[in-house]
C-alpha cells in the first residue's frame, strides 16, 4: 500500500485543461490496478493532490439541474465565465480567483475503502483549517461540504465538495472560498440549495485578503494527518 501522495500546485489554470489532466492521472491509476488484477503485477498505484485556481467557471454535476444556472450563454460571456457539465457528483458550483480548489486523485485501496469516510475526512480537513482562524465550521446534515452557523437563519457555505470514484480511485474534490468574489454565486443556485448564503474566509475574518499560501499549508498538514499519508511536494 502506497501512502505517499504527490502534491502539485498548478497555479491558475483553465478548468477544462485541469479536468483533462485529472483524467490522465485517474486513468493511469486505473490502468495500473487493472494490470495488477489481470497479471498479478504487484505494481504500486500512485496518489496525487492538485491545488489549482480557475478563471471564472460554473460546473454542473451528473445529477445537477440545468435550471440552477441563472445565466444564458450571452450573459456568461459578459461575466467572463465558462460553463461545463462534468462527471462528478453534486449539482452546480462556481470556481474562480480567490478560491482554493483541491483535487485529490487517490487510490483509496492505499488508505481505506469507504467513500463516505473519504468525504467526511475532506470535510474535517477544512473544519480543522478554519478552526485555526477562529471559525467554528461544521457539516450540514444531508448537504456535503462545510458550513458556518448551521441550524440558524444565517447558515452559509464556505466550502463546496463533489467527487467521482471508480474502482476506489477518486477525482474532483473541494473548493474553499478564501478571497472569492461572492457576487459570482448570485448567478446560480449553489449546489441546488435555495435560500442559503455563501461566504468566504476573508469576509468572515474582516480582511481584504487572506494569505492563500498559508491556508494551503494548513490544509496539507491536516490532510497528511487525517489520511496518515506522506506528502511529496512537486514544483
For the cut 70, the answer to whether the pLDDT of residue 84 exceeds it is yes
Q: Which residues are annotated as a binding site for substrate?
A: 88-95, 160-162, 173-175
Write out the binding residues: 88-95, 160-162, 173-175
- What's the pLDDT tens digit per position in 43-82? 999 999 999 999 999 999 888 888 999 999 999 999 999 9
Grid cell at residue 204: 468572515
pLDDT at 192 over 70: no
In the block, which residue shows the cell 474553499?
Answer: 176
pLDDT at 62: 85
Residue 223 C-alpha cell reads as 490532510
pTM: predicted TM-score of the whole model, two decimal places: 0.95
Q: What's the pLDDT at 9?
A: 98
Indicate which residues carry an active-site annotation: 191
Using left for φ > 0, alpha for ψ between -120 and 50, and beta otherwise, residue 228 falls in left
The pLDDT tens digits for 156-190 are 999 999 899 999 999 999 999 999 999 999 998 86
Is residue 167 within 8 A of residue 30, CB to CB? The reply is yes
Residue 131: which domain range? 4-234
State the Cα–Cα distance between residues 204 and 151, nearest whole angstrom.
Answer: 18
Distance of CA 182 to the CA centre of its chain: 17
Residue 16 pLDDT > 70? yes
> What pLDDT shows up at residue 90?
77
Tell me which of 16-20, 41-45, 79-83, 86-90 is least confident: 86-90
> Are 104 and 111 spatial neighbours (Cβ–Cβ below 8 Å)?
no
DSSP class of 185: G
Nearest to 86 by CA among 70, 69, 63: 63
Query: Of 103-117, 157-171, 184-198, which gets the smallest average pLDDT?
Result: 184-198
Query: Among 226, 133, 214, 126, which Cα is nearest to 173's?
Result: 126
Looking up residue 111, the CATH number of its domain turns out to be 3.30.930.10
Q: How many domains does the chain have?
A: 1
Q: What is the DSSP letter of 184?
A: G
Amino acid at each position: 500500500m502506497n501512502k505517499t501522495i504527490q502534491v502539485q500546485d498548478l497555479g491558475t489554470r483553465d478548468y477544462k485543461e485541469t479536468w483533462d489532466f485529472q483524467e490522465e492521472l485517474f486513468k493511469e491509476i486505473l490502468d495500473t490496478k487493472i494490470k495488477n488484477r489481470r497479471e498479478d503485477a504487484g505494481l504500486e498505484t500512485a496518489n496525487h493532490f492538485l491545488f489549482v485556481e480557475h478563471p471564472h467557471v460554473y460546473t454542473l454535476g451528473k445529477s445537477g439541474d440545468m435550471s440552477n444556472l441563472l445565466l444564458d450563454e450571452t450573459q456568461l460571456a459578459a461575466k467572463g465565465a465558462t460553463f461545463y457539465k462534468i462527471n462528478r457528483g453534486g449539482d452546480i458550483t462556481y470556481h474562480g480567483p480567490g478560491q482554493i480548489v483541491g483535487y485529490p486523485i487517490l487510490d483509496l485501496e492505499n488508505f481505506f475503502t469507504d467513500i463516505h469516510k473519504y468525504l467526511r475526512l475532506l470535510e474535517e480537513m477544512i473544519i480543522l483549517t478554519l478552526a485555526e482562524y477562529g471559525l467554528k465550521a461544521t457539516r450540514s446534515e444531508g448537504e456535503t461540504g462545510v458550513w458556518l452557523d448551521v441550524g440558524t437563519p444565517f447558515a452559509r457555505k464556505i466550502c463546496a465538495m463533489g467527487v467521482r470514484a471508480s474502482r476506489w480511485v477518486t477525482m474532483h474534490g473541494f473548493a474553499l472560498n478564501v478571497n472569492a468574489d461572492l457576487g459570482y454565486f448570485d448567478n446560480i443556485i449553489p449546489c441546488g440549495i435555495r435560500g442559503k448564503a455563501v461566504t468566504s474566509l476573508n469576509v468572515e475574518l474582516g480582511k481584504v485578503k487572506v494569505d492563500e499560501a498559508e491556508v494551503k499549508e494548513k490544509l496539507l498538514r491536516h490532510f497528511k494527518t487525517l489520511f496518515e499519508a506522506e506528502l511529496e511536494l512537486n514544483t
